[in-house]
Amino acid sequence: MKDLKALFYSTGIIPVIKIESLDKADGLAQALRSSGIHVAEITFRTKTAPGVIERFASRHSDILVGAGTVTTKEEVDSALSAGAAFVVSPGFNPVICSYCIEKGVPVFPGVNNPSLIEQAIAMGLSVLKFFPAEVSGGVRALKAFESVYSSVSFIPTGGIQENNINEYLALKNVLACGGSWIVPTDLIEAGKFEAIEGLIGSARRTMLGFLPLQHGDRGLNREKADAGARIGDGAAIEVKTTSLRRSLAILQAEGFSSVLGSEVMRGKSMAAAEIEIPSLHGRIRLVE
């Protein structure tokens, strides 16, 4: 459980996936992987869900797969035999929670008020989905929960998008946010995985303020990125700046040098450039 919490925290955004076609599972897994997402919640909103979970668990074991929208014991059984590593349910159903506890699988039931939180705590649960987040009071409700249930962490889901995710992630009692907007079903079904990578990349950039190059960049250092390069062995971390020219001028004045040939031009203006950071044995890539 400790590891799961750490994984959720470091992922920040858990994709809530509704997928109809099994033959899109591999492409989706690849899009998640190359976007730096190593957790997936496959919802039981389609008949394909168990097959997709099985596919992720067997072929894409670097992505921890869980089952979402689980509302019956039969679905718990089906999720577990497919290889799901955790179970998420939209509401707090004591039957489902006890069954998962009995089976030894982590369960994250949805709650949205103190009575449900207390029932979940009474079952020994300390990580809960907060659903539907936006219409249940959103950030203000979570702040109120923090003052009384300080040992509970939440995964708010429902109405979270790129424009409000950082308000949630800034809260002490939020482990990660769940969201379907980064994995729209129509894009999955159309096989538009680059568009999905774009949505995830944009969301991660909003969350982090930068993108680790090995996951998010298709540009200069893609070869290194594909080889799994990290800062410290010559790869770059991407940092967004409001004025690239001014940032370069400031950094150069401080004694940092830009990497020859790393400039990317957009028309007459510079769109990206890399700076060597000797103390990190690596580079940052500034983008505007």
Q: Which residues are catalytic?
A: 41, 129
Q: Which two tokens stand for residue 80?
A: 């577990």
By CB under 6 A, tell whether 180 contacts ligand 3PG. Answer: yes
Amino acid at 120: A
Token reading at 141: 């409700």
Among 12, 109, 156, 158, binds ligand 3PG (CB under 6 A): 158
The answer to the question of residue 36 lying near ligand 3PG (CB under 6 A) is no
**Residue 272 tokens, joined:** 């990206």
Stretch that binds ligand 3PG, among 23-31, 179-187, 199-207, 208-216 (CB under 6 A): 179-187
109 part of the interface to ligand 3PG, by CB under 6 A: no
Cβ–Cβ < 8 Å for 216, 238: yes
CB 6 to ligand 3PG: min, Å: 21
Q: Segment contacting ligand 3PG (CB under 6 A): 3-11, 141-149, 173-181, 204-212? A: 173-181
Query: Which of 25-33, 155-163, 189-197, 276-284 is the region at the interface with ligand 3PG (rule: CB under 6 A)?
Result: 155-163
Question: According to CB under 6 A, which one of 69, 214, 247, 262 is a site residue for ligand 3PG?
Answer: 69
- Give the angle 254-260-265 at the CA atoms, nearest 5°: 100
Q: Which of 11, 12, 15, 16 binds ligand 3PG (CB under 6 A)?
A: 16
Query: For residue 130, which of 171, 102, 100, 96 has the smallest C-alpha distance?
Result: 171
Which of 231, 233, 250 minimizes the C-alpha distance to 241? 250
Copy the structure tokens of residue 145. 């929960």
Do 32 and 63 contact (CB within 8 A), yes or no? yes
Burial label for 254, CB within 10 Å (0-12, 13-18, 19+), is exposed
Residue 154: CB minimum distance to ligand 3PG, A: 13
Strands 269-277 and 264-266: antiparallel
Binding interface with ligand 3PG (CB under 6 A): 16, 43, 68-69, 90, 131, 157-160, 178-181
